[in-house]
Amino acid sequence: MDRKTLVLVGVTLLLGFALGTKSARENWQLELPRLAKVAVTPTPSQSSVVSAAEVLPPSVNLGVKWGDIIIKMVRGGAIDKTKFLALYESRPADLDQAKKLLESTSNEDIVVTQANSALILNLLWPLGIANKTNVLSQGPIGTQYKGKEGSFASTGGWTLGARDGGKLFNSQNLISLTPQQETLVTEISQNIYRPCCGNSTYFPDCNHGAAMLGFIELAVASGMSKDEIYKKALVLNSYWFPQTYAEIATYMKSKNNLAWKDVNPQEALGVDYSSGQGAAKVNKELQATGLVPKVQGGGGCGV
């Protein structure tokens, strides 16, 4: 019985109850619990929509450290200290943190917040394009686009280095990885997508892909488990694309009755949800059910 029919039944029973017939009163008592349930059950737009605030934690400890990696990037020209700090002149909190990281070794865990997520993105980005790894040398950019490595948003778009992004590509020994770790970085990078592109991290052609590769390398080198890497990677993507992941969370809740905390991170990061195509499909389905507005904005891939 649908909502409209139940309301009609309720009106009929209430009328009968008011007229004082015994059968109507008895039926009313039987139907009251069902009618009450309908009356207080929220509509899909009320109960299923998940906001970005519900998806984003106040902070997340990535469980990895910079060590002297940022210092090495400054020395090797992957980061130009003057250019980098100039970007944050109007953001005192980010500026203070950036100065410390660019000038001294850090043995503290990297903690990401909504406030500093863009800064962390811009620090992981040059790591992802500069560090020598099989993902770069043997992946699509290093093979299919050999000689054109600087033509991507991740390389040509990196303007905060002392060296050209294309020349930085796969050029520095910033993180040492064993053959087994290289295999794991490759595997994980092939399973993590981002909503701005149709490619996985294995094809890091934009800043988000390069930054995610940098995080994966740090995490694998530290001995972090695959499950934990996917979990932290999902939080990073959620910080970088909050609206998209609020929509994915809404989709999971409305279609599968699954709370965001219970979603499988690897599944959410896969091609069906986190790729540009997957995210667009989710958005389209949510629009069709009225759970999101027709017009949605997107983020860019620049500094």
Residue-wise DSSP of 49-90: ---HHHHS-SEEEEEEEEETHHHHHHHTTSS-HHHHHHHTTT
Residue 267 has pLDDT above 50, yes or no: yes
Q: What is the pTM of this model?
A: 0.82
Residues 116-170 have pLDDT tens digits of: 999 999 999 999 999 999 999 999 999 999 999 999 999 999 999 999 999 999 9
Average pLDDT over residues 210-219: 98
Residues 38-79 have pLDDT tens digits of: 333 334 445 678 888 889 999 999 999 999 999 999 999 999
120 contacts 94 by C-beta, under 8 angstroms: no
For residue 294, give the 3-state DSSP assignment. Answer: coil
Between residues 13 and 110, the one the model is more confident about: 110
What are the beta bridge partners of residue 113? 59
Average pLDDT, the chain: 86
The separation between the first and the last C-alpha atoms of the chain, rounded to the nearest angstrom, is: 55
Residue 161 token pair: 């280095």
